[in-house]
Structures are given as C-alpha cells and as structure tokens.
Structure 1
Amino acid sequence: MKVLLIFIIILFTFKPAKSQHLIDTTKLWNVYKCNGAFFWGCYTKTYKFFSDSTIGSLKYSKLYETFDSTNTNWNYTALLREDTLTKKVFWRSNNNESLLYDFNLNVGDTAKVVSSWGNTSCPYSMIVDSIKYNTYFGKVRKQFYFNAPTFYGHKETWIEGIGNTWGLLDNKVAVCTTDYGPRLICYKEKSSLRYFDNYFSKCHQSTVGFKENDFVLNNIKVYPNPSHGNFIIDTGSNYEKNITIKDELGQTIFEIKNDKESVAVSLSQKGVFFISIWHSKGNWSGKIVLL
C-alpha cells in the first residue's frame, strides 16, 4: 500500500516538458553580435514576429529586427515557417526553404543545416551528442547538445521553444558570414524574462560609438587567426584592461589583467574560443580558431 501511494505521488508530481512552439508574436530575442573581420563594433539585435504571409499553400511568419533599445524602429528581416507536427522550423530565402531547427531529433541523429543567415553555399551537419531537460525561470525545456566535427569540433545548443543559444538566426559556424561572436543574451515571453545568459549584465549591449581617444575598439586585432596555438592579442592601447578567453562551455582557460598594448597567448587546446576584453570605457568580444 505504501509503495502504491508513493507511485501515485510521483505520477502526479512529475510533469514532463510539453512540446513548445518557437514562433509566437509575444516573444522577443536579444542577440549580441560583432560585425566585420576586425570586429569594428558590437551591438544588440532584437527579433520579433509580427504578422503572417501565405506563399502557395504554406503559411510563413514575418520576422522583424531592431537595433534600438526601445524596440520601436522595426525592419523586416526573414520569413520563417514552423511545422508543429514534425517540430521543424524552416527559413525561406530566394524562393527556397532551408532547415533552421528540428526539435524532433534523437541522440545520434544528424541535423543538416546551413550557416548563419541562410547561407546555402556553406552547408554543414551537426550530430546530436545528448538531450537533457533543463529548467529556465521555472519552465522545463528540452535541450539539444550538438557537435559539428567537420567544423573544428563546433558545439551548439538548441532549446525547444527558444532556439539556438548563439541567436535565433545564428549558429557557431560563422565562416561564411561577416557576423562574428553571435550570442543569445536574453529571451522574453509576454514581456517576462525566460532566458538570460549570465555572461552579460543586461539584455541590451553595445560597444559602438565610443570616442577614439578612449578605448579604441576598432583597433583590436587577433593574429594569426586561425592559429596553431600561439597568437597575439593587440589592443593598440595601454589602458588597464581585463582579457579573458573561454571555451564553448563557458569555462575560462586564460585570463590576464594588464596595461600592455599586446599580449602573447599560447594555448594547447583545439577548437573555437571566445575572447573578451573589458575596460571602463567599453568592452569587446571576438573569437579565435585553434587548429
């Protein structure tokens, strides 16, 4: 009798994660981006769905973006379609559809997707390493962990109902785009925060617009990149600054605080690593590929 009672309690208290749709007009995604090969500036893009458009027999949702922190000046950016039966999300570009997400995958399955911004000239495959259920702001969500072995062992994470932790329309394989270091800062549903990357201090970040006589962000160079382990971070400034390098799991593998213009770094790890430089006048982020 006691065993039966315990089983009934477990049955009624365990609530598995329900299938969660990605496309919804009440959602907002804030994504941190850095533009250009020399990272001339970093900024926040906010994404939101506003309306639908029917092409043939298929219904697409119009995705808009804005750069301002008040979320007032929206511009159309993409057409997305969600198949709620197969749990797949597609991106329509140049009259063709590309797979953006597949939330019906199992461990060991391969997802064939395209690089950031629907670049069909740069396709790649990712393998599902594991699937877990994690809680974000009180809500259990299904989380997919991927490995892309053909691209320096890139790792990615998809969260059902939210998307890629590198950004709604982004991924780690940025070799075919001029956007570098994309990262999902926060995600909201009906104005309520449902995901936040603690690497940041707030949902809207920007390093664009600092005066040149302050911390000259556009002078920062990392070379050679890719590297075989030894490389230089040249800041072009003798201001005191913090430099950190993290791996794809967010673990710090290098950290230094000094006022020298350049720092020589030697690492034995391989893969993609994220560089952050923090200064009282602003911050900068980029990445280094170690072969």
Structure 2
Amino acid sequence: MYKLVIQATEVATQNLKRLAQLVGAGEITAVRSGALAHQAFKLSPADPAQREAVASFCAEAGYDFAFVPYGASLSDIGLIAMDMDSTLITIECIDEIADMQGIKPQVAAITARSMRGELDFRQSLLERVALLAGLPEQALLAVYEERLKLMPGAETLLKAAGKVGCKTLLISGGFTFFTERLQARLGLTRAVANVLEVADGKLTGRVVGEVVDAARKAAELVRMREELGLRPEQVIALGDGANDLPMLAAAGFGIACHAKPAVRAQAAYALDQVGLDGVLGYFD
C-alpha cells in the first residue's frame, strides 16, 4: 500500500482534495507540521497507477509529489548517501574555482554538459581540472569561505537523521578540499572525493588517483551499505547529475534533488520545489 506525499511552500486545500480524488485517498494528514520549512501532506491510501495524472497536476500547481510505501519510517533508514555539488551545497565548486582563474564560462559549460549526461564525466573532469593549472591553492579556501553555502533544508535533514542513528556518506565527483571540511563541519560519517594535485602551493591541473565517477559513486554506496548490514530499502541517496544515476538506482529511496531533466525522469523520487528537508516529508 502507498501514500501520496505532496510538498511545496504552500499547498491549497482544494488541490489536496482534488489529488485525494485522483488517487482514491480517504485521508489527508499534515506531515511533520512546523518541523519543515514548507508544507507537506500525505494522502492515504493512494493508487500509484494514477502517477501520470498526479505528475501532470503537480507540475501545473508547482508541487513536489512522491508515492511512498505506507508506513515508511525514518528510523528504518540506516544510511544517507549524497552528492556534494548542487545537492548538499548550492554551488558547483569547480565552476567557482574556475572563476578565480577567469575561465568560469568555459568550465561551467563543460560542467553543465557533463551533468546532463552529454559528456563522459571522467574525461570532462580531467579536462576542466587541466584548465586550473597554476591557480594558487589559496583560491580553494576563498571558494569555501566566500561562496559555498549549504542547500536549504540540509542541516534539518542531517539533524533528524542523526537523531535516529543514521550514517552518512558524502560521495562527490568534486574535491576532497571541500568534502573534508564539510565532513568535519556537519559530522558526516564518511566522505569520498577526488584529490587535486598541488605543487609549490599551486594546482598542477591534475587529479591524484582514481577519479570518482558514476560507477565509483554507486560502488561506494553499496560497500558502505553492506558494511552496515542494510537492505537497499534502508538507504536514501541524493543527487542531481547524470553521474549520480547509478547511485540513486542502488538505493531504496533514490531522490533527484533539483536535478537535470534527464536525471529527474529516471529517478524514482524527485524534489524540485522544496529543500533537502523535503526528504523527511516521505517518512512518518
């Protein structure tokens, strides 16, 4: 049995009633009222066969929706795996680093094509990093201190997850300079990312070791899931780019967060209108 979860900054009562009619729900209940930065409601029970009609309605109304197994509880979740750039944080770090080099438009264009799945991620990363050669390492700190911001709702989600003993994995195609700082700041269990080579205080334009690509992201999730003895349905994964799709597919709750259209279309769940605290709306 399923429930339909509807989330947005504001949700009109008449729209909830219309959606309840669409899915055959007999009950409409507010979810985590006052604990989220937006409104969330569950309609239950809900017929997932009406997904297309619900998707059309919610697209017009500006609502996020999800058909979630009835009785899903956050206390059953043992692991949250998340991408960093444009998921846990609002920026693409490599684009902002490139801005320090005066080449943000060129690098950002490559980033966008890679995230849409139009370019091989590994090759595009190496090409972008090569353009950063000669940049002082100090520029990375400037990006972290001046430009990096957490995605709205991130701290609310992580705090709630921590209360139920959920472990966290930050797995990024970005760089350890940022993931290590975020891990310490947010108390994340594990962080994996690419290592930028530095010589004489400047970036060499090379990455040290294996590139964290789509396959590596999924493999790291599976490895940690197995270490913890969890089933896939006890795992949440969050991401926005094409290189996150295998990771999202390996989790019971694979959620596309403000994602590219191609990613949103393939993910089981999606958040577009609300912040990362919208994940909590799925769970009683």
| TM-score normalised to structure 2 length | 0.26
Structure number having the greater strand percentage: 1
The structure whose residues are more often helix, as a share, is: 2
Higher relative contact order (CA 8 A, sep 6+): 2
Name the TM-score, length of structure 1 as normaliser: 0.25
